[in-house]
Structure 1
Amino acid sequence: MIIHVVAIIMELLKLINTFFESALFKKLINRKRSLNYIQFQRADHFLITLSKTCKQ
């Protein structure tokens, strides 16, 4: 059951990541490149750490 939930979360993260890499998102970031962008980077780092922990 827990593995199933993790799999769903990972799929959601892939979708979010696809959006972040999209051209639309890059345009938004270029307009508002400030604290928001730093927060996204921190969140991304947290998610990477989380996924590594789940894989172990």
Structure 2
Amino acid sequence: MKAIIDLLPLAIGLETGSELLQPLAIAAIGGYLIALPLLLVILASLLYFLKLEKKI
């Protein structure tokens, strides 16, 4: 989450020379926002199914 906060000024375009790196910052923020919840859902469901198989 800190990386998203650190990339916000660059994505908004507040810094000098940010016109070149603005698309990269926006893509990185989008990747973080998509990957983090997706990883948590996949990991939690994987662990749930693995524990379910051990009980049977």
TM-score (norm 1): 0.47
Which has more radius of gyration?
2
| Greater RCO structure (CA 8 Å; 6+ sep) | 1
TM-score (norm 2): 0.47
